[in-house]
Structure 1
């Protein structure tokens, strides 16, 4: 990218995403006051951001530098860029503390200035915040109660693989318009909050590979729009809530569920016959639990089922032969001595 591009005083849109651009991005592009959009996504560019980006780019609405090699700190002045509504900085080499703004900052080396992730408290001032993506940053803290004060417009929280520990605060239930909550790959402990029943718009919940324990709460039965539930790699115990299969009577919205991962827990009891009503199910993994009883014949109705893993449980009886079972191998059932 030539430095001379900064000599275009009336340029309003600079979009070079997904090319093969290399080298340091000219500092001049961050001094073009008329620019409303800078999109350099998915190149091999490096460099740093100006310390007063709010003054050098007063009219910028979109700043997308994701999937490059930009480094240095993210300037705190970015909070003062009053017209900025779309900020994407994920998959770069940024380091330092997270500024108090709304941003996709996935896969950098960002940390929090306090163990309580204090930047989340400041985000409560972002009334139009819809997406919060921090996946893959070593935050190394706990989820504070202030997370419940985030904007009601918030629809997505992605904080997987962030070294977060402690319990999931009950106040997460205050985020009444949340569509996606992904907290997998952390060190979270304690139970699933009962307040999850208040997340009536939730479509995807990911809590995989944590240290969560206790039962899989019946409160999940109230999430009528849920279509992705991923809980494997925890320490859950007890029975699977009947509503996860008994869709017509309880929460019929789960008829759109496509994937269910519950392996590596301590689930007991039998597989509900009503699992056969999960008509959209493509993947069902119940392996490495303590599930007993027979495999329900109703599972033969799951015409879209492509992957079934019931291995290493205490199942018994005859394996069904119809429907998707005709294409399954012994690998799906190994480790059940009485089958």
Structure 2
């Protein structure tokens, strides 16, 4: 393995390669061959994914001054040297799936940086200097321990995609609503309790994913005609044992329906029975409507039949139709068959339907 590594670096130097692939090399330290003498002044793209690196050399920028892209996904890097800020031509930096706890402020000196990926680390905060990255287009900080985002991010005027899923965020800085080019914002699986009232006012912002925020009670009105991520995915679980399940109530054991393959715990996101019923009816209607010979009348009120025929949207992960989920994938509904049908309320044994339009939905009480 060592000889193959030396040969790959030797050939890259001899032929002045602009791209060097050192993925899956079981590297524990940064190869010294890359830093000898004049280094590799001509190298533009360095791929070192899935190794065991724990740190980067302080003279990286001195020896590799023309780096445009640096990919360090899936290593054990815990510290980024302050000298990282000297990579003045760097446009893409991927440090996802490492052991980072702190990002040095010098990262704000990478004024050419366009794509920064820091997902799946142990970051508790981000430096305000990220706001100095005026060319930044993509920022992924998902799967960390973040409680807040830097307010100065609104200075990243080129930012188009911001992903901060699976953190501990309680709020979104209102200043982010000022980002003129922001097209996609993903804040799924956090601790959000509210969203800025101005969120979605920009015509550029078209995709907002805020599913799996249990304490989020409402959406700003500007988001009603945006594409909203769903809460609760219909993907089938991976079940190894498909034998019939039973529910034990005291001394009585009740067999559960054969369709039920698993029981969710308190921490699982389990779809409500109303949603499952609508999906079953929707699938049955689609099957029967394609073959008139087997078409049987549905004993449902017309308004409920409309709901079964036309779901509010589809899950962006499993493509299942959605009817009652809090954050469906919403498209403009004013000109569709669902323009006045959006929610049902069920009371005891009586099915009572309440119909209203999103045009009539206004924030109430302390909702955003």
Which bin holds the TM-score, normalised by the shorter protein? 0.5 to 0.7
Alpha-carbon distance, 1:76 to partner? 2.6
Distance 2:27 2:183 in 1: 37
2:64 paired with 1:70: no
- The answer on whether the counterparts of 1:153 and 1:177 sit within 8 Å (CA) in structure 2 is yes
Q: Cα deviations across residues 178-220 of structure 1 (Å, max 9, x unaligned)?
A: 111111111222x322222222222221112222223x33322
Deviation at 1:84, TM superposition (A): 0.6
Q: Residue 3 of structure 2 aligns with which residue?
A: 3
1:199-210 alignment, distance < 5 Å: 199-210=179-190
Within-5 A mapping of 1:213-224: 213-214=193-194, 216-224=195-203
Cα deviation digits, residues 122-161 of structure 1 (max 9, x gap): 122111101111111112x223332222x21101111111
The whole-number CA distance in structure 1 between the counterparts of 2:69 and 2:128 is 26
Asked if structure 2 preserves the Cα contact closer than 8 Å seen for 1:50 and 1:75, the reply is no
Structure 2 equivalent of residue 46 of structure 1: 27
Tell me the residue number matched to 1:156: 138
Instruction: Name the CA distance, whole Å, in 2 between partners of 1:8 and 1:144.
Output: 37
In 2, Cα distance between equivalents of 1:221 and 1:299: 29
Is residue 143–residue 169 contact of structure 1 (8 Å, CA) maintained in 2? Answer: yes
Q: 3-state DSSP class of the match of 2:70? A: strand
The aligned counterpart of 2:191 is: 211
Relative contact order (C-alpha < 8 Å, sep 6+): which is higher? 2
1:53 deviates by: 4.3
Instruction: Normalising by structure 1, report the TM-score.
Output: 0.62
SS in 1 for 2:182: coil
Match of residue 59 from structure 1 = 42
Residue in 1 aligned with 2:72?
89
The one of 96, 102, 105 aligned to 2:95? 105
RMSD between superposed Cα atoms in Å: 4.1
CA contact (8 A) 1:53 1:78 kept: no
- Distance in 1, matches of 2:214 and 2:187, equals 11
* Equivalent position of 1:173 in the other structure: 154
* Among candidates 173, 180, 183, match of residue 164 of structure 2: 183
Residue equivalent to 2:173: 193
Structure 2 CA distance for partners of 1:161 and 1:333, relative to 1, 3 Å? farther
Ranges in structure 1 where 5+ consecutive residues have no aligned partner? 13-30, 248-253, 264-284, 289-293, 314-322, 326-331
What is the CA–CA distance in structure 2 between the aligned matches of 1:34 and 1:138, rounded to whole Å? Answer: 37
Instruction: Verify the 8 A CA contact 2:312 2:322 in the aligned structure 1.
Output: no
In 2 relative to 1, CA 172–129 (structure 1 residues): closer, same or farther, beyond 3 Å?
same
Aligned-partner SS, 1:211:
coil
Number of aligned pairs? 257
Shift of 1:170: 2.7
Q: Gapped runs of 5+ residues in structure 2?
A: 233-268, 273-302, 327-335, 353-368
Check whether the contact 2:119–2:143 (CA below 8 A) recurs between aligned residues: yes
Q: Which residue of 1 aligns with 2:230?
A: 261
Is contact 2:211–2:229 with CA below 8 Å preserved after alignment? no
In structure 1, what is the Cα distance between the partners aligned to 2:308 and 2:153?
35
Q: Summarize the Cα distance change of 1:158–1:60 in structure 2 as closer, same or farther, 3 Å threshold.
A: same
Deviations 1:47-94 (A, max 9, x none): 42136845432321110122x3333322232233210111001023x2
Q: Does 1:307 align with 2:320?
A: yes
SS in 1 for 2:139: strand
Q: Which residue of 2 aligns with 1:136?
A: 120
User: C-alpha distance in 2, partners of 1:79/1:232?
Assistant: 40
Residues 33 and 57 in structure 1, CA contact (< 8 A), matched pair in contact too: no
Give deviations 1:251-279, integer Å, cap 9, x for gaps.
xxx4xx3x52356xxxxxxxxxxxxxxxx
| Structure with greater proportional strand content | 1
- TM-score norm. by structure 2 comes to 0.57
**CA 1:48–1:333 in structure 2 vs 1: closer, same or farther (change >3 Å)?**
farther
Distance in 2 separating the partners of 1:210 and 1:5: 42
- Distance (whole Å) between structure 1 residues aligned to residue 9 and residue 211 of structure 2: 54
CA distance in 1, matches of 2:9, 2:189: 51
